[in-house]
Amino acid sequence: MKRILVLLFIGITLAGIHACKSRKTVKSFSPGEAFSVSSADSQLVELKRQLPQAEISRVPKGIKVTFASGILFAVNASSLSSPAQEYLEKLAGVLQRHPAGRILIEGHTDITGTTDYNKTLSEKRAESVKTYLVNQGIVPDRINTAGYGEARPVATNSTPQGQEKNRRVELFIMP
Q: Is 41 helix (H, G, I), strand (E, B) or coil?
A: helix
pLDDT in tens, 26-35: 333 344 444 4
More confident residue, 170 or 10: 170
Q: What is the mean pLDDT of residues 95-104?
A: 94
State how far the alpha carbon of 9 is from the alpha carbons of 3, 4, 5, 21, in Å: 10, 8, 6, 19
Q: What is the mean pLDDT of residues 54-74?
A: 91
pLDDT score, position 75 = 82
42 lies in some domain = yes
Q: What is the Cα–Cα distance from 5 to 71, expressed in whole angstroms?
A: 63
pLDDT score, position 143 = 98
More confident residue, 109 or 2: 109
Please report, for the domain that includes residue 67, its CATH number.
Answer: 3.30.1330.60
How many domains, in total, are found in the chain? 1
3 lies in some domain = no
Tell me phi and psi for residue 170, to 5 degrees: -115, 135
HEC states along 68-105?
EHHHHECCCCCCECHHHHHHHHHHHHHHHHCCCCEEEE
pLDDT in tens, 129-148: 999 999 999 999 999 999 99
39 lies in some domain = yes
Q: Is pLDDT at 151 greater than 60 in this prediction?
A: yes
Q: What is the mean pLDDT of residues 55-84?
A: 91
Q: Is pLDDT at 169 greater than 50 in this prediction?
A: yes
